[in-house]
Structure 1
Amino acid sequence: MDKQQAEAVAQAILEPDLRTQDDLRRKRALEAARQSRKRRVAWFTLIGSGIGAAIAHLLGERFTSGVIWRGLAGSAIGWLIMRRAWA
């Protein structure tokens, strides 16, 4: 067996593993991007909840409804911003 044949055999053995590694790397990159977007939306939600709590306190509303409704608004804004950034 000469060097070219040995290289061909080694490549034939290793190629499926290399494809699998590339697929895993691609899936992990997509998952990391998704996780990053979710974290950004969570920050918007947290900020919206904090603003809602402050507004509810200043206006004399129920604290929980201020946190919940402004948190939902922050979440919606976050998703819209992330959707535009992703497109």
Structure 2
Amino acid sequence: MEKTHADAIAQAILEPDLRVQEEVRRKRAKKAANLLRKRRVAWIVLIGSAIGAAIAYSSGIHFSLGVIWGGVAGSAFGWIATHRAAA
């Protein structure tokens, strides 16, 4: 058997495995990027909740409403900001 023939057989055997490994690597990278995006949004939600709490405290409305609405606004801002950064 010639070397080129042996290389062709080895490549034919290994190529599907290489494609599968590449697909697995691509999926893992996508999951990691998505997790990073979710973590960034979570931090922005926490910051929004803190800002909402501070505004509620200073304006005299219920503290819990400030936390909730600040978190909602932070969530919306976070998803929009990370979506634009990802695109």
Runs ≥4 residues deviating over 3 A:
none
TM-score, L = length of structure 2: 0.90
CA–CA distance in 2 between the matches of 1:4 and 1:72? 63
Distance in 1 (CA, whole Å) between partners of 2:83 and 2:20 is: 30
Query: Per-residue deviation at 1:60?
Result: 2.0
1:86 is displaced (CA, Å) by 2.2
Unaligned 5+ residue runs, structure 1?
Answer: none
The 1-side partners of 2:77 and 2:64 are apart by 20
- Select between 51-60 and 73-82 the one with higher mean Cα deviation: 51-60
Displacement of 1:14: 0.8
User: Structure 2: which 5+ residue stretches go unaligned?
Assistant: none
Question: In the TM superposition, what is the alpha-carbon distance from 1:46 to its structure 2 partner?
Answer: 0.6
**TM-score, normalized by length of structure 1?**
0.90
Q: How far did residue 10 of structure 1 move?
A: 1.0
* Alpha-carbon distance in 1 for matches of 2:10, 2:32: 33
Whole-Å separation in 2 of the counterparts to 1:9 and 1:85: 45
Match of 1:30 in 2: 30
Distance 1:77 1:19 in 2: 38
The answer to whether 1:56 aligns with 2:56 is yes
> Which residue matches 1:45?
45
Deviations, residues 1-31 of structure 1 (Å, cap 9, x unaligned): 1211111111111111100000011111111
